[in-house]
Structure 1
Amino acid sequence: MNSSTQYITNLIIDYSIIGFSSTGILISISMLTFILYHIIKNKIKSIRIALLLTGNMYFALLLFFILIIDTYTYTLEGHIYGNIFTNNTKLCRVRAYFLTTVICALFYSNTLQAIYRFCRIIFYMKKTFQSFQIHIIIIVIQWIICFIVISPALFLNRFEYLPDDYHCQIPYGNFQTIILYGIIIYIIPLTITIGCYIFTLRKMHNENNRFRQIITQIQRFIIQREMNILFRLCILLGFMITFFIPSTIIFLINQFTGYLPWWSSQIRWLSYVLSMICVTIILAFISPHIRNLWINSTGFRKLFPKNKTAPAVIKIN
């Protein structure tokens, strides 16, 4: 590919990433405003906790899009002005550190929702797990952990400046670091989320008769709903990870052949941004508390009348 075509392609991708990220910021701010309003207004503890955990994920999405725009503003300048522009500074590496930390927090915020649903089903008698204040503390701990686990990459200078892309990131050639943080950021939350669902499913199946004796009809309805949400969270996490497949393929090609396409970093971040844009939309649809609040606060509630009683027959096996 000649330099002119490469130049135009880079600009198209840069503007696309910035444009999509701007859209993501607008969606995230809108959802956070909606969630914050209903957290303050709503008095039902379970709904407030569910909104809080969803809001935590939208907050991570908002930070992700902001940092992407910040990063790609420099990348765009570099692609326009060429070699006379440089971003090879300590701040560049710190920016990459924050971006990686936010991606880590995004995956773990989804896992927190799965753990909450798991506790709502398995430990439904434990009032401790229904505390709004405790979940605020858990969210703070989650962010602290994410900052801590990513910090070695910053202090050990694993974030490197890419002169062709004008920003810092962990290069594809750093095999050990990429594998390590791939496990920390993606594999661990995926394992926990799917583990919560499988464990809950098996426990309910094995103790189905005992459950029927000790729980009420309304509790069965709640358990069925929580199981559905837990399953959707697994699907959402799997969906998020599928958009990281292009990066994985490029990484494997680089490891086995030593070849790294000039567009590898561009495609990587474009796929990330597209993934997160989809998440901002899908998350609202798979979260029944948000969907119900939206229906109840608009004219659509006439089309979807609210049931005041649980269904007469509910299967939990």
Structure 2
Amino acid sequence: MLVANSCLAKLLFAIDLLGLIIWSLKNDLKQISYQDSLCIFRGYLVKATIAAQFDSYLLQAIYRYITVIYPTRLFWQSKQFQGFLIGLTWVCAFIFAIPHVATGEIQYNADNQMCETPFHLSFIIIYNVVYGYFIPLNGIMFIYVKLILYVKEMNKRVTPVNTVSRAQRELKMVHRIVILVMILLVLGVPYTIFVIMGFFTQPPKYHLRISYTFLYISLLFIMITLFQFTDPVKTYIMKKIKRQSNIIAATTIQMNEVR
């Protein structure tokens, strides 16, 4: 459920970004600057879905931590409790994005053909960084380090093999979450640079286009990484590709024989 929740957050984020691309491209082709009725909503949804993504990663990390540290507390691992937490994170994500709209900070930028919070020193920018990025990222890294130390301690004392294996498996899953988060962080560097630049001076004219281009790329890398991490899906797709290649090869051989 938790992994599916992260995928849902990515999907909604990708759909929203696609809407941004289509609208920007449409206005560019027509060479007009026009704020449509959904512009503010798309800007709002970007904030909400990004927060939902990071919250979903944090939720996964917390679940892995509880599974290892408190394996007997089955209620915390139940689907009902997971569903409750998933719903809570989505509610928090959408509430988190409301101040951006309520304060009028999400504004139409004609140069970049999108609605986004201007990069300048303001409460909303600080609020966005702290809640949207700082808290979940630090939470994930804290859990990751705690699990590493816990697994090392388990290896030093006599512990059932299945317990150690489970802890190592959950640690591996958190490690994968950290990799996904690092992809977002690395490809989000231009966005971060422009935000910091906005504290002191005016960012470049097309700073939003540049920032969002790297966000598009990050989605591609995340999909590739998830493909590598998800062995059943990877095996299934590789079998399909191999089978298709064999069919093409057999067809080619038959055609050559006929000739």
Q: Shorter-chain TM-score category? A: 0.7 to 0.9
In 2, the alpha carbon distance for the partners of 1:248 and 1:175 equals: 15
Give the SS at the match of 1:98: helix
Q: What is the SS of the residue equivalent to 1:124?
A: coil
1:257-293 CA distance string (max 9 Å, x none): x23212211111010111112112212333xxx4146
2:47 is the alignment partner of 1:100:
yes
- Per the TM alignment, residue 219 of structure 1 is displaced from its structure 2 partner at its CA by 2.0
Contact 1:108–1:189, Cα closer than 8 Å, also in 2: yes
Relative to 1, partners in 2 of residues 1:296 and 1:97: Cα closer, same or farther, differing over 3 Å?
A: closer
Partner of 1:186: 133
Paired residues, what number? Answer: 240
Q: What TM-score do you get using the length of structure 1 for normalisation?
A: 0.69
- Matching residue of 2:199: 255
Gap change, CA 1:281 and 1:152, over 3 Å in 2 = same
Structure 1 residue 229, shift from structure 2 partner? 1.6
How many angstroms apart in 1 are the aligned matches of 2:171 and 2:75? 20
Within 2, Cα distance between the matches of 1:299 and 1:272? 31
**1:223 is matched by which residue type in structure 2?**
A
Identity of aligned residues (%): 25
C-alpha distance 267-236 of structure 1, shift in aligned 2 (>3 A): same
List runs of 5+ in structure 1 lacking aligned partners. Answer: 1-51, 301-317
CA displacement at 1:173 relative to structure 2: 2.2
What SS class does the counterpart of residue 168 from structure 1 fall into?
A: strand
Deviation at 1:252, TM superposition (A): 2.6
Q: Helix, strand or coil for the counterpart of 2:199?
A: helix
Q: Identify the match of residue 34 of structure 2 among 61, 66, 86.
A: 86
SS of the equivalent of 1:273 reads helix
Whether the aligned pair in 1 keeps the contact of 2:151 and 2:164 (CA below 8 Å) is no
SS in 1 for 2:108: strand
Change (3 A) 1:139 1:191: same
Q: Distance in 1 between matches of 2:80 and 2:170?
A: 21
**1:84-120 Cα shifts (integer Å, max 9, x gaps):** x41154x321221112100110111111111111111
1:291 pairs with 205, 215, 231, which one?
231
Q: Comparing 71-80 with 143-152, which one deviates more in the overlay?
A: 71-80
Q: Which amino acid aligns with 1:291?
A: D
CA contact (8 A) 1:57 1:110 kept: yes
For residue 36 of structure 1, what is the aligned residue in structure 2? none
For residue 57 of structure 1, what is the aligned residue in structure 2? 6
- In structure 1, give the amino acid aligned to 2:214: S
Shift of 1:81: 2.0
CA shift at 1:134, angstroms? 1.7
Q: 2:216 matched to which residue of 1?
A: 273
Closer/same/farther in 2, CA of residues 296 and 99 from structure 1, 3 Å limit: closer
- State the distance in 1 between where 2:102 and 2:138 align: 28
Letter of the structure 2 residue corresponding to residue 180 of structure 1:
Y
What value does the CA root-mean-square deviation take over the aligned residues? 2.2
Whole-angstrom CA distance in 2 between matches of 1:293 and 1:219: 27
Note closer, same or farther for the CA distance 1:77–1:299 as it changes in structure 2 (3 Å cut): closer
Aligned with 1:132 (options 63, 67, 79): 79
- Where do 5+ consecutive residues of structure 2 fail to align? 241-259
Distance 2:236 2:222 in 1: 23
SS of alignment partner, residue 171 of structure 1: coil
- What is the deviation of 1:149? 1.4
- Of 22, 26, 36, the residue aligned with 1:73 is 22
**Partners in 1 of 2:232 and 2:110 — Cα distance?**
49
Does residue 149 in structure 1 map to residue 96 in structure 2? yes
Q: Residue 186 of structure 1 aligns to which amino acid in structure 2? A: Y
Q: 1:244 aligns with which of 172, 188, 192?
A: 188
Are the aligned partners of 2:112 and 2:206 in contact in 1 as well (CA < 8 Å)?
no
Distance 2:77 2:202 in 1: 52
